[in-house]
Amino acid sequence: MSERQKMLSGESYNINDPELVELRKIACQKREELNKTSQIDTAKRSAILKSLFGATGETIYIESTFYCDYGENIYVGENFYANFNCVILDVAEVHIGKNCLLGPQVGLYTATHPLDRDQRIKPIDLAKPITIGDNCWIGGHATINPGVTLGDNVVVGSGSVVTKSFGNNVLIGGNPARVIKTIDNNQLTVAA
């Protein structure tokens, strides 16, 4: 099994593997191109993102600056938007449904590291995937940790740290995030 296959399957992998280093370089070039492209050149920005990500819907927009590890492990649905300074560490796959919005400075982190000090200093890492359902809104400065799954219609309050998975139709918030209320789909607005 290659180091890339190990990485994507959640096993320990060598971060200095030549294939992984090359894939990160390619992603870096595309990120740099995206981040220096004018915000008003939406067609070019969309084309760059579609070449960077594993899959996208037709409508996708991410404000600068944007950072990711590989890009190709990110899959977003139709009508995706991320505000300024988004970071998606896609060492494992990140799946985001349709009609999702990420506020400014949101972080989605699949990377994790050993607790043991001696293991942590080696170039060996682990990763756990993140899945976000349809129609989700993640408020500014929120952090989604490795292995988290969020259902459909979830709203994550600003500044929240999401350390576990949640089902559909909930407003979550805090550190660590917890259910604040169930969302009634007939509500006109939800404060986060």
Residues designated catalytic: 113
Q: Three-state DSSP class for 96?
A: strand
Mark residue 78 as left, alpha or beta (left: phi above 0; alpha: psi -120 to 50; beta: remaining): beta
* Peptide linkage before 176 cis (omega within 30 of 0): yes
Longest dimension (CA), the chain: 53
Length of the chain: 192
Distance separating alpha carbons of residues 60 and 145, to the nearest angstrom:
23
Distance separating alpha carbons of residues 40 and 156, to the nearest angstrom:
28
Hey, which residues does 89 pair with through a beta bridge?
Answer: 109
Tokens 């890339």 map to which residue?
4
Residues 6+ apart with CB under 8 A from 179: 166, 170, 171, 172
Distance separating alpha carbons of residues 128 and 54, to the nearest angstrom:
17
